[in-house]
Amino acid sequence: MSLPSLTLAYWCVLVAVALPYAAAYIAKIGSFRRRDNETPREWAARQSGWRARAMGAQSNSFEGLAFFIGAVIIAHQLGAAQAWLDVLAVAYVLLRIVYIALYIKGLGSARSAVWALAFLVNMAIVFAGR
């Protein structure tokens, strides 16, 4: 089996897809039990503090995913310079990782600023085409 020849931007899409699951995994470490898997949303609703924030980061990561995927596809379709698109896609993923960390730590203002930066990077991806 060989890996498909994807652009770095497309690999970033795959990483971005994994981020919500990583946030949920962080929330569940040391607390989520086998019986909780019967009603995982009830378990999530009972959480507080950093675990609840990690679940919030998961939700927000899923919410922002469609825009990022669409932006990368649009940029490819419009013939964006690949190097620039790759830089923007990596920047988006790194900003989202920082966003998740800030969310979990409860640093709301910094988190919102990073969210805004990631949104602007997404907009730049859309308009990166020629």
The pLDDT of residue 129 is 81
Residue numbers of the domain that contains 73: 8-126
The tens digit of pLDDT for each residue in 88-103 reads: 999 999 999 999 999 9
pLDDT digits (tens, 9 = 90+) for 20-50: 999 999 999 988 888 888 888 888 898 899 9
Residue pair 103/25 in contact by the 8 Å Cβ criterion: no
13 lies in a domain?
yes
Quote the pTM value.
0.93
The answer as to whether 3 is a domain residue is no
Contact of 72 with 90, CB cutoff 8 Å: no
Residue 1 is assigned to a structural domain of this protein: no
DSSP 37: G
Q: How many domains does the chain have?
A: 1
Q: What is the CATH number of the domain that holds 40?
A: 1.20.120.550
